[in-house]
Amino acid sequence: MKAKRFLPLPLVRGLALAGVALFSAQAFAAGEVSLYTTREPKLIQPLLDAFNKETGIKVNTVFVKDGLLERVKAEGDKSPADVLMTVDIGNLLDLVSGGVTQPVQSKTLESTIPANLRGADGQWYALSLRDRVLYVEKDLKLEKFTYEELADPKWKGKVCIRSGQHPYNTGLVAAMIAHDGAEATEKWLRGVKANLARKAAGGDRDVARDILGGICDIGIANAYYVGHMKNSAEGTDARKWGDAIKVIRPTFANEKSGGTHVNVSGASVAKHAPNRDNAVKLLEYLVSQPAQALYARANYEYPIRDGVKLDPVVESFGPLKVDPLSLVEIGKLRKQASELVDKVGFDN
């Protein structure tokens, strides 16, 4: 009978610890997701913390201010990115056309997000809305407005807006082309330029600042900035700017298809996502009731999901009827929109 051979106790303990370490590493890897985002992390951190608390999945956030597409391309199939998050439909479509995303089929995403606010093949999904609205001097008697009216000569010298080449505005111009055609849009751009109170420049908050300063009476900007301004501390410049204006949600003049123009924040699952399942879980969480409520309270963006309680400031703007035009169609017209902006010398 052969004698039994036993491993030395220290070696047994070492192997056991190694096994536990290996298991722990595997468990950790299964419980994480890497997010590449062009959004300031502090804006979305409350949502990521809530996701981690609910699912136990750790979110590794990488802030990529510029060059998201180029970075993911350079990393290739070794990229650790699972989810790619950005703002503006143009940026989302660039990720898709750049070949760094993959299609995702999810009943949760498809049943929650309207068809015009997601890719038909599941390559991108909108997560929140940014409606392009009219800032109005608070005492001005004006209750409704169409985007086309910005070119009405009665507003000569009374309109403020940021650069026409900013993605927020090229998106609006692209939507105008889709609704009214390129010729009518060029005429409209010339009319809006003639009505400018100052050079098209600055940011959206500057529109409110210049209304307070008496430079202009109206201007086009994103609604969520008003939430930030009106909820700022008493006595701050931002609060003064916010208190100087009211908001009207314009529509396109075409009553059949017109609504308020929106842009989006959104995300895609990366082509080589090492944690694909967790990436899908994160996207599904971001359109859930709790996450959409956090979007609405923390960033004052309009939720993609129906039935979410809004911040009181945003709620005061009244109902949002989203323009049903496909964002993909708008995205395809961005280049033409940019060329028109240059053609009329809008920013000169």
Residue 295 pLDDT: 82
d(CA 131, CA 108): 24
Any binding-site annotation on 225?
A: yes
pLDDT at 159: 98
Closest CA to 135 of 301, 241, 246: 246
Residue 147 is labelled as binding a ligand: no
Question: How far apart are the C-alpha atoms of 332 and 86, rounded to whole Å?
Answer: 18
Looking at the predicted structure, is the pLDDT value of residue 247 above 50?
Answer: yes
Dig out the tokens for 306 from the structure: 């129906």
Dump pLDDT digits (tens) for 287-338: 999 999 988 888 899 999 988 999 999 999 999 999 998 899 999 999 999 9
Question: Can you tell me the distance from the alpha carbon of 329 to that of 174, in angstroms, rounded to the nearest whole number?
Answer: 9
Predicted structure pTM score: 0.85
Task: State the pLDDT at residue 186.
Answer: 98
The 10s digit of each residue's pLDDT in 67-120 is 999 999 999 999 999 999 999 999 999 999 999 999 999 999 999 999 989 999
- All structural domains of the chain, each given as residue ranges with its CATH number in brackets, are 10-129+262-310 (3.40.190.10), 130-261+320-343 (3.40.190.10)
**pLDDT > 70: percent of the chain:** 91
**In the beta sheet, which residues pair with residue 265?**
87, 128
